[in-house]
Amino acid sequence: MPKNNNRAHIIVVGNEKGGSGKSTTAMHIIVSLMKRNFNVSVVDLDARQKSLSRYLENRLNYATKHDLKLSIPDVYILSRSMQGDIDNMMFEDTKNFSELMEELHKESDFILIDCPGTDSNLSRLAHSVADTLITPINDSFVDLDLLASVNPDTFKVDKLSHYSEMVWDARKHRAMTDRGTIDWIVMRNRTSSLDAINKRRVNDALKELQKRISFRYIQGLGERVIYRELFPRGLTLVDMRDTDDKVTMSHIAARQEIRRLMNDLKLPGWQEEVVEKKRQGVGF
Ligand SMILES: Nc1ncnc2c1ncn2[C@@H]1O[C@H](COP(=O)(O)OP(=O)(O)OP(=O)(O)O)[C@@H](O)[C@H]1O
Ligand SMILES: [Mg+2]
């Protein structure tokens, strides 16, 4: 998609729980988009762990070592301000964040922001500019707490979580500043076929919850060893055809999962690209 305006589509991957699959999901979305020639800029707000930046660093090293042509985006690490009092820190964070966004809008079709698993001023700022917000949650009732406390029998919402309140504030802020809306997508990660009963119950609870706190609930990713194995080499399932890896049935199923995820996100320009690629008989 050629860049034809001064505004990129902002994808934020966030929640307030460590290890739920934000960076893994982010990485697969980035590579999927780049594979289709979209300009993608990446912002890593997890300046302490830098797992997405490290994933991309591993990718660069692997591509160099094996002489592979892998698409690698520019990544910007934004650290929270530590200068002065709270007001001053907020002011500095807002200034740094806005300046970076302004710059990236000019050169990108998509800006992907990976958030840390904790609340921070920068993370709030990111949520308030999101066009698409993706929240991965693991497959258990404990993780549902991330969205709201839910009665396990009736699925009635007792209380919104701190995180859902924060998204609510971000939506209000967005509506007031540019009348924009945030497409909030909750996706399950690490679903396992072993615990079918729990899986169904979480599924039912999420279906109920999505009506009450206005998110779109999509299927997401299964529990697969491959996701852990790809990190040290900086690869994604989307790259498998460009490497010497032996493609197994499990890889094919996982690739389909990623393709479904990308379609379910309904990102601007993506569906047209699918149609065009199909017409040309090209897979991804
Ligand atoms: N679907 C999956 N199947 C198996 N392992 C997974 C899956 N998704 C993520 N993982 C693994 O779980 C761990 C945490 O994932 P990831 O780093 O993506 O989470 P995160 O939400 O970004 O964590 P943090 O909050 O610490 O930034 C990693 O080791 C990753 O490889
Ligand atoms: Mg992460």
CATH code, domain carrying 157: 3.40.50.300
Look at residue 152 in the predicted model and tell me its pLDDT. 73
CA of 88 to the centre of ligand 2 (A): 27
pLDDT means per 10 residues in the chain (284 residues)?
74 93 97 96 94 96 94 95 89 96 96 95 96 93 87 81 95 92 95 80 86 90 93 94 80 93 96 64 54
Instruction: To the nearest 10°, report the CA torsion of 191, 195, 201, 203.
Output: 20
Look at residue 2 in the predicted model and tell me its pLDDT. 46
Does residue 105 fall inside a structural domain? yes
CB-based burial, 145-154: b 16+ in 10 Å, e otherwise: ebbbebeeee
Q: Report yes or no: 99 and 122 within 8 Å, Cβ to Cβ.
A: no
pTM of full prediction above 0.85? yes
Sheet containing strand 9-13, edge to edge, reads 74-77, 40-44, 110-114, 9-13, 132-138, 183-189, 216-218
What is the Cα gyration radius of the chain? 19
Which residue type does 98 have?
Answer: S
Does residue 96 fall inside a structural domain? yes
Does residue 28 fall inside a structural domain? yes
Distance CA 20, CA 274 (A): 28
CB-based burial, 4-41: b 16+ in 10 Å, e otherwise: eeeebbbbbbbbbbeebbbbbbbbbbbbbbbbbebbbb
Give the number of domains in the chain.
1
55 lines ligand 1 (CB under 6 A): no
Does residue 4 fall inside a structural domain? no
Look at residue 278 in the predicted model and tell me its pLDDT. 58
What pairs with residue 97 in β-bridges? Answer: none
The atom of ligand 1 lying closest to the CA of 20 is: 21
Q: State the residue for tokens 């919104």.
A: 160
Does residue 52 fall inside a structural domain? yes
Look at residue 36 in the predicted model and tell me its pLDDT. 94
Q: Which domain covers residue 210, as residue numbers?
A: 9-280
Burial class (CB in 10 A: 0-12, 13-18, 19+), 199: middle
Distance CA 140, CA 32 (A): 28
CA of 73 to the centre of ligand 2 (A): 17
Distance CA 134, CA 25 (A): 9
Choose which residue among 135, 227, 235 to substitute to test ligand 1 binding: the one with the highest number of ligand atoms within 8 A of its C-beta.
227
Does residue 2 fall inside a structural domain? no
51 lines ligand 1 (CB under 6 A): yes
Look at residue 91 in the predicted model and tell me its pLDDT. 94
Find, among 178, 183, 177, 176, the residue nearest to 131 by Cα.
183
Closest ligand to Cα 190: 1
Which residue type does 203 have?
Answer: N
Does residue 34 fall inside a structural domain? yes
The secondary structure of residue 5, as a DSSP letter, is S
Does residue 152 fall inside a structural domain? yes
Choose which residue among 12, 24, 224 to substitute to test ligand 1 binding: the one with the highest number of ligand atoms within 8 A of its C-beta.
24
